[in-house]
């Protein structure tokens, strides 16, 4: 199963964005696989409707901004535009996009950070074991 980190596919050298139509075509190729996992939100550059429309499950990590900022700081030094995007992250836009483009999907909104992710993984393992 392809696991795709969108930011690693989307950004070109020098952090140049992939043109929108090309990005849509890349995603269409990726979602043509029988199973796939994609992570990430590329903000105003993104075309989330492509993958949301094909998703059967959506996991939205809606954790507090301070936690996101702390983890980003620990992970790497980011450019100023990343920080501006992070501090202004449009949660409402993403919730609306999920509602509009993935009404058929099972949606998990995790707002408790690591413990919420661990709980979701435990539940998924239990379902898989039950068959």
What is the number of domains present in the chain?
Answer: 1
Asked whether the predicted pLDDT for residue 54 surpasses 90, the reply is: yes
Per-residue model confidence (pLDDT) at position 26: 94
| Whole-number percent of the chain with pLDDT over 90 | 37
113 Ramachandran zone, left/alpha/beta (phi>0; psi -120 to 50): left
pTM metric for this prediction = 0.81
Banded model confidence at residue 1, pLDDT cuts 50, 70, 90: low
Identify the pLDDT of residue 50. 96
| 3-class SS of residue 56 | coil
Residues 6 or more apart whose CB falls under 8 angstroms from that of 72 comprise 78, 82, 83, 86
CA gyration radius, the chain: 16
- The dihedral over CA atoms of 56, 61, 62, 66, expressed in degrees to the nearest 10, equals -170
| Structural domain boundaries, residue 43 | 3-130
What are the tens digits of pLDDT across the range 57-114?
A: 999 988 888 888 898 889 888 888 888 888 888 888 899 999 999 999 999 999 877 7
SS3 79: coil
């Amino acid at each position: 199963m392809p696991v795709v980190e969108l930011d690693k596919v989307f950004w070109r050298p020098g952090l140049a964005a992939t043109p929108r139509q090309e990005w849509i075509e890349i995603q269409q190729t990726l979602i043509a696989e029988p199973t796939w996992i994609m992570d990430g939100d590329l903000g105003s550059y993104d075309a989330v409707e492509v993958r949301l429309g094909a998703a059967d499950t959506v996991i939205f990590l809606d954790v507090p901004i301070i936690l996101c900022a702390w983890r980003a700081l620990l992970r790497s030094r980011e450019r100023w535009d990343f920080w501006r995007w992070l501090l202004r992250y449009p949660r409402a836009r993403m919730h609306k996009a999920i509602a509009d483009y993935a009404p058929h999907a099972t949606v998990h909104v995790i707002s408790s950070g690591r413990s919420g992710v661990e709980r979701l993984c435990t539940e998924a393992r239990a379902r898989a074991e039950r068959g």
